[in-house]
Amino acid sequence: MSKIKERVLRAQDDECKTSHRDKQRVSVVTNATRKSGKPGVTDVKGAVGSVLLTPPDSEAVRRKLESQKGVLGKSSGKIEFIFYKILLCVLYMLYACARYTQYHYNRAKILILNLAYSPSNTPQLIRQDVLKLQKLPKRLAAIVEKKREGDVGGGVSGVLNDGSDLVAWTISAGIKHLALYDFDGHLKRNVDEFRKSVFHKLTKYYDPSNVPKFAIRIPQWNKVYFNAPGQEADDTTSKKVAIEISLLSNRDGRETIIELTRTMADLCAQNEMQLSDITMKLIDSELTQLVGHEPDLLLYFGPNLDLQGFPPWHIRLTEFYWEQDNDQVTYSVFIRGLKKYAACKINVGK
């Protein structure tokens, strides 16, 4: 046998042995029955995927990962809760300190203003303060409220005293219309005591023989009282008054609007009024007769603005004034409210 042939046969024998080993290796990996011939590409990919991509005992690994994740999630959740709780406490403490500082600053400012603006029961001083203003409201309204019996100026007597102070300041300022609103209607129910209180207060500001005449109007009852009890006017000439005071309560607000709506609905149902007759002008006219005219300025003597059910129809163009953290009816709030109204600009649409 020649050397060439011998080398060829040897090479074929080596190739055959190599192919036989490859077949055995693939069969072991795939755990399948050995086939005759060369393995395909799909068989090789399946074998590699089964070995490399499929983890051994995947359920156990999944449970272990979930347990680790649960522990980390709980710990991170607690840390986050503690962080936000501390942050909330810090913000609350900062707000409390800022509000505490603001409250004492406002109280000190109000105290200084009360010392600076003191009428001393003198109409001339009030007139001097008012003459500096460019304009005055033609109609003034104020909200007074009853304080607790144990507080200074509390009870019904406190409401009557606050109302009489406002009447004296308003007359001295030259304003001819004043509306006093208290939610529970203490001024209405004690109208005779209020008339006496107003008269007594005016005697401190004016000469007892020259006390300005006043009229107290209660729209809900459709009644008008002149001066103090026992000093009522008898003729038309003596009915000329320096100020007209309207006493309002929560009954003059939404309840009046509801009652007016119900009345107009009944008239339409009885064919005594047509739907076309109900206009904005008619409603405004009826509410003006039932409650009164809209004030130009509304004063509130509480720490935060609270209208307390003031007639909503009558404050469409009204200016509001109040002093934050104030809880007393004082002349300083009264005159500062007039100053704000004098400086404001009111634009009325066509």
> Given this model, what pLDDT does residue 253 score?
87
Measured between alpha carbons, how far is residue 290 from residues 208, 217, 252, 294 in Å?
A: 35, 11, 8, 12
**What would the mean pLDDT of 213-222 be, rounded to a whole number?**
91
For residue 319, what are the β-bridge partners?
A: 297
Residue type for position 66? E
Q: Give the span between the Cα atoms of 99 and 121, in whole angstroms.
A: 35
More confident site: 45 or 7: 45
Which residue(s) pair with 244 in the sheet?
A: 177, 215
Calculate the average pLDDT of the chain: 81
Note the pTM of the prediction, 2 decimals: 0.73
Q: What is the pLDDT of residues 168-207, one digit of tens each?
A: 999 999 999 999 999 999 999 999 999 999 999 999 999 8
Return the residue matching tokens 């100026």: 153
The pLDDT assigned to 150 comes to 79
Residue 23 pLDDT exceeds 70: no
Q: What distance in Å separates the CA atoms of residue 293 and residue 139, rounded to the nearest whole number?
A: 8
Position 71 scores a pLDDT of 55
Position 1 pLDDT exceeds 60: no
The partner residues of 321 in beta bridges, in order of sequence, read 299
Give the chain's count of helices (H) and strands (E): 10, 7
Tell me the pLDDT band of 106, cut-offs 50, 70 and 90: very high
**309-346 pLDDT, tens digit each:** 898 888 888 999 999 989 899 999 999 999 999 998 87
Tokens 């003459």, residue located? 131
Q: What is the mean pLDDT of residues 30-43?
A: 49
Ordered by where they begin, the domains of the chain are 113-253+291-343 (3.40.1180)
- 223 bridge partner residues: 218
> Is 209 a residue whose pLDDT tops 90?
no
Residues with Cβ within 8 Å of 240's Cβ and at least 6 positions away in sequence, in order, are 213
Please name which of 348, 340, 347, 349 lies closest in space to residue 135, comparing C-alpha atoms. Answer: 340
Ranked by mean pLDDT, which of 14-28, 48-62, 113-127 comes out on top? Answer: 113-127
Tokens representing residue 214 in the block: 């006043």
| Cα gap 328→65, rounded to integer Å | 68
Pairing of strands 223-226, 214-218: antiparallel
State the amino acid at position 30 in one-letter form.
T
Instruction: Copy the structure tokens of residue 205.
Output: 């500001």
Condensed to tens digits (0 to 9), the pLDDT of residues 44-97 reads 456 545 544 455 556 665 666 566 555 556 677 788 888 889 999 999 999 999
Q: How far apart are CA 174 and CA 242, in angstroms?
A: 8
- At residue 28, the pLDDT reads 42
pLDDT digits 0-9 by tens, 227-266: 888 776 555 545 689 999 999 999 998 888 888 889 889 8
Separation CA 46–CA 56 (nearest Å): 16
Residue 235's pLDDT is 53
Helix (H, G, I), strand (E, B) or coil at 273: coil
Lowest mean pLDDT among 26-35, 139-148, 282-291: 26-35
| pLDDT of 138 strictly over 80 | yes
Q: Are strands 297-300 and 319-321 parallel, antiparallel or unpaired?
A: parallel
Q: Evaluate whether 138 touches 176 at the Cβ level (below 8 Å).
A: yes
